[in-house]
Amino acid sequence: MADRNLSRRTLLAAATATAFAAGVTSSSTAAGHTGATGPHESAAARDRRLRRMISAMSLEQKVGQVFCTWVAGRDADEPGAEAAEVNQRLLGVRSGAEAVARWHLGGVIYFLWSGNLVEPHQIADLSNGLQRAAVDSCGVPLLISVDQEHGAIVRIGPPVTQLPGAMALGAGGSVRDARDAGRIAGAELAALGIRQNYAPVADVNVNPANPVINVRSFGADPRAASRMVTAQIHGYEDAGVAACAKHFPGHGDTTVDSHYGLPVINHTRQEWSTLDAPPFRAAIAAGVDAIMTAHLQVPALDPSGDPATLSRPIIDGVLRKELGYDGVIVTDALNMRGVLTKYGEERVPVLALKAGVDQLLYPNNLPLAWNAVLKAVREGEITEARLEESILRLLRLKDRLGLLRRPYVTHAGVDRTVGVRRHLAAADRIAENTTTLLVNRDGLLPLSRRRQRRLLVTGADQPFPTDRTRSSVPALGAALGGLGFTVTALPTGLSPAPERIAEAVAAARGQDAVVVLTYDVATAAAGGQRTLVERLADSGVPVIQLAVRNPYDIARLNGVDAALALYGWTDVELRAAARTIAGRNEPGGALPVPVPRADNPTRVLFPVGHGLSYDD
């Protein structure tokens, strides 16, 4: 067995020797979508080259190539004692490098919780260490990925440039801004060695009660969402990073979070075709590198009750054959309840491959899932040829990204790219175009530093996605203070108690205006937020309400004098809001979703496209 493996490693090394030169001295900038042997290589010649690489793999190596999972620790070889214990307990090895080699992984996904994302140079070093392990053990570089959607879903914080999320970009309505955001995000990820981002979200959010997509969507209009999805894909492509449109066949009309249950989409076939499908069709037309499946049922597409991730009629029938997609199909995380409700952890990865999926993302138990796939191939439930189809698609993607030539990055490349001034300035410019003014009674906004200098900033104090030591109320207070206002910041939390509400009302006395942040006030737990806003409005001090997540909050709030929708609560959105309140920039956004009335959801309070300016 040892001699056989050595022979295969030798063959793999020979097959890839012309594809890249191993070493950390190579450029950190993205190689882009260039073939490993030059732009004039035919597709047939490329596939012959890649198939030679596949033929040199053992069956165990082939199985590993379709898995993308986490590893714990900030360093590939020396993860630290706690991370080493986690790796040993869940992956059977001590370090990330050992996990890559032991399981012959084709990809790794980074998370904050797994200790991978501390600071840019560390991330780049981790990427290089994991790539060396992959090249040394299997001859094929990894596809390193992350969920960096921006807005509500951010894994890597500053100094990486923070950008508005999808619904904010939808409110801005600028295809150019959406592409620029994708290009900036992609360039910085590529500098860190991360060459696949699980973005953009292509779901059309038509359900205000959607607990998992909401502001992660570009909006409720399939045509507008399609334009923005296309723009983001091109932006990531400009940067040499693989985009991934998600969550097929569409997760925009659910009231169940597929992390915790199995949603059902009850759209008819025609409704699916006109509402859910257009952004995915647009993504395919734009040449998207990957599409992620959803863990939900769509009876109109497959009445079996299987989640889409495990449904051959949906994956092979609709996505492959009907829509004509031949790129990489990746599962949503396989540790989610939505995909585990009907089948157990051992069957799910096998059924996903049989349905037509190529990349198995984040199984709850990697050794169990890996061995289940190996057993299925050995026993003939999955043919080796079927496994090789998926590996070929993954290798084509790695080849287009230039990973087979140049898998490593440098600190110099990080310093040239990550969080640079031009990226930060572009992020601020983009964010200023997204802030949406919904209500402005008697022209309260913009505020004057001379007449309305004293401000109370209060309300829902949401921690930043990547730094729980920082939160929205103090951050907004600091931004307004920097613009010349005298600010008192008093966070009250997501479910303020009566005593905290009374404290905020008392603090409002003597102020020229109150800025109150709200966060998803439609939920049962948010009754205190609604009471806070009502009590502040009764105080007689002008109240400016800022919805820092869903724009639907205004429908359930009475008595506010002005209302803004931000669609996010990180520095970039809060700085833009502060500048809008101060009149440094016009509110540039327009609602990308309708806001229904709270007392009669069949009627619209504010339609798509509503957004006031200071000239109104």
Phi, psi of 442, rounded to the nearest 5 degrees: 55, 25
Element (H, E) at 544: strand 543-547
* Of 253, 332, 358, 399, catalytic: 332
Q: Is 332 a catalytic residue?
A: yes
Phi-psi region of 402 (alpha: psi -120 to 50; beta: other; left: phi over 0): left
Amino acid at the residue 307: P
Question: What six digits make up the tokens of 506?
Answer: 């008392």
Is residue 162 within 8 Å of residue 427, measured between CB atoms?
yes
> Mapping DSSP to helix (H, G, I), strand (E, B) and coil, where does residue 2 land?
helix
Query: Which three-class secondary structure string do you get for 446-475?
Result: CCCCCCCCEEEEEECCCEECCEEEEEHHHH
Which of 177, 258, 160, 123 lies closest to 465, judged by CA?
A: 160
Residue 473 and residue 46: Cα distance in Å, rounded? 54
| Burial environment of residue 422 by CB neighbours within 10 A (0 to 12, 13 to 18, 19 or more) | exposed
Residue 473 and residue 491: Cα distance in Å, rounded? 6
* Of 33, 136, 257, 259, catalytic: 259
Q: Is 259 a catalytic residue?
A: yes
Query: How, if at all, do strands 562-565 and 436-440 pair?
Result: antiparallel
Which of 466, 474, 459, 481 lies closest to 581, judged by CA?
A: 481
The set of residues, in sequence order, having a beta carbon less than 8 Å from that of 588 and lying 6+ positions away, is: 172, 432, 433, 434, 435, 611
- Which residues are marked as active site? 259, 332
